[in-house]
């Protein structure tokens, strides 16, 4: 499959890793939009939030259970924002479910 995040998981494309376990990988965004900008992805390919079901949603709970630790390890010590973009109107560019962790400064109150 021609998925850049699956290639990062497979080690075919390098990444600046922040955290990894058997189910998920967290790495720095290549084009950071805040002083702290980390992406957290499941190791299984799920296209976006629209594909989350009762059967595969445990991975989302696992990701959120690790967010407090990953955010602080990455340097977001005073709060952060979690974003997932999905589909055309969500302006999703990489079609592998990912959660952006943004922090390290006071973010805009605007979200869209």
Task: Using CB under 5 A, list all residues that contact Zn ion.
Answer: 3, 5-6, 45, 96
Give, for 38, the enclosing helix (H) or strand (E): strand 36-42
Distance between CA atoms of residues 26 and 47, nearest Å = 17
Q: Indicate if 98 belongs to the active site.
A: yes
Nearer to ligand AMP, 61 or 91 (CB): 91
What is the signed CA dihedral for 2, 47, 98, 69, rounded to 10 degrees? -110
Nearer to ligand AMP, 32 or 55 (CB): 32
Q: Applying CB under 6 A, which residues contact ligand AMP?
A: 4, 13, 15, 27, 29-31, 39, 85, 91-94
């Amino acid at each position: 499959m021609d998925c850049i995040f699956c290639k990062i998981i497979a080690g075919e494309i390098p990444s600046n890793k922040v955290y990894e376990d058997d189910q998920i990988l967290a790495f720095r965004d290549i084009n950071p939009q805040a002083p702290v900008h980390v992406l957290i992805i499941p190791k299984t390919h799920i296209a976006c939030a629209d594909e989350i079901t009762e059967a595969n949603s445990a991975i989302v709970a696992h990701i959120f259970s690790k967010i407090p630790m990953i955010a602080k390890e990455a340097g977001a010590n005073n709060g952060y924002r979690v974003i997932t973009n999905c589909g055309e109107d969500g302006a999703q560019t990489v079609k592998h479910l990912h959660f952006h962790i943004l922090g390290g400064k006071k973010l805009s109150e605007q979200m869209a």
